[in-house]
Copies of this chain bind each other. A is one copy, B any other.
Amino acid sequence: MSISIVGSVAFDTLHSPEGTKEKILGGSAVYAAIAASYFTFPAVIGVVGEDFHAEKLELLQARNIDILDIQNKSGKTFHWTGSYLEDINSAKTVSTEIGVLGDFHPILNEKNAERKILFLANNDPTAQLEAVLQSNSEWIAMDTMNLWITLKREEVIRVAQKVQFLFINDAELRMLANHYNLIQAAKAVFEEVPSLKYLILKRGEHGASLFTKDDYFTIGAFPLELVKDPTGAGDSFAGSFLGHLADKEITMESLKEALLLGTVTSSFTVEEFGPERLLEISREQIESRKEQLIKYLSV
């Protein structure tokens, strides 16, 4: 059972209308693993440089996150600087110091290759594909971003052909499918990638939807008055969604529950800078906000 998560482990420098944070813990795999750790035992497959402090890894280990496949390389850890000063909903990359992530080749140990779910958190599709080829997971899920769709669309599609779950936001879906209409765009992706079973559309403040080839389910977001820092929202959404499924049979019912949990978990993430809030909540707080959300949604 459980889940292997391949992706970035990073330092983030963040500028938002609520302030600035310098070189805090970040990365797609980190957010996804912390979120998943509320539901199952995740492993992170990634790479860090010499400047990555041991206590950051201990922080993950303390949550029962397996870090054996986090490689230590000579060089600097990936460092992303992003700004939400213009638009709180959409990150603008100020600078990227790729460091050791530039030559990242994921290596999955035997245990990590056998976990029930492999999640390819947002990362270069070349590295995503390398991970897929080592995996015997029953279910594979992927996330991606506008950068990879623009630079490496063919490789993104090649990875998508190996997965059953695709997480994508509305702007990325429009870009990937080259259709403005989101329903048509989802349909076009299913046509281009026949092996895909579930497309999870992240609508940000408007909610999230689950598409299958012949079914559809949609929910609103948890209403939040303050978004301090949306970094990691998508990663923790997917981590929580898949973490819930790691020990469940995958049915329409468990998928709906996963969508609710992903929505609610990421609603905590954005309330503070970095993974701060995500690290301090309890499973009970997630459940309680989920019950509140169900009330807001019940027709």
Instruction: Give chain A's interface residues, CB within 8 Å of chain B.
Output: 88, 180-184, 187, 203, 205-207, 209, 216-221, 223-227, 256, 260, 294, 296-299
| A-B residue pairs in contact (CB < 8 Å), sample of 5 | A183-B224, A183-B225, A184-B226, A203-B206, A206-B206
**CB contact between A260 and one of B256, B296, B297, B299 (< 8 Å): that residue:** B299
Closest to A227 in B: B181
Q: How far is the CB of A14 from chain B (nearest CB, A)?
A: 18
**Which B residues are in CB contact (< 8 Å) with A298?**
299
Max chain B C-beta neighbours (<10 A), residue from A180, A187, A220: A220
Instruction: Check if B260 sits within 8 Å of A225, measured CB to CB.
Output: no
The 4 closest A-B pairs by CB, nearest first: A218-B220, A206-B206, A183-B223, A183-B225
**Which B residues are in CB contact (< 8 Å) with A296?**
216-218
Instruction: Check if A207 sits within 8 Å of B205, measured CB to CB.
Output: no
A221 CA to B218 CA, complexed, in Å: 9
Q: How far is the CB of A290 from chain B (nearest CB, A)?
A: 10
Q: A183-B223, A187-B225, A218-B223 are in contact. List 6 more A-B contacts (CB 8 A).
A: A184-B226, A207-B218, A217-B297, A218-B221, A218-B297, A219-B297
Instruction: Check if B220 sits within 8 Å of A219, measured CB to CB.
Output: yes
Max chain B C-beta neighbours (<10 A), residue from A207, A226, A260: A207
A220 CA to B297 CA, complexed, in Å: 9
**Which B residues are in CB contact (< 8 Å) with A225?**
181, 183-184, 187
Closest to A88 in B: B180
A180 CA to B85 CA, complexed, in Å: 12
A94 CA to B117 CA, complexed, in Å: 52
**CB contact between A209 and one of B218, B220, B299 (< 8 Å): that residue:** B220
A228 CA to B180 CA, complexed, in Å: 13
Closest to A186 in B: B223
Q: How far is the CB of A209 from chain B (nearest CB, A)?
A: 7
A256 CA to B294 CA, complexed, in Å: 14
A183 CA to B270 CA, complexed, in Å: 15
Q: How far is the CB of A190 from chain B (nearest CB, A)?
A: 13
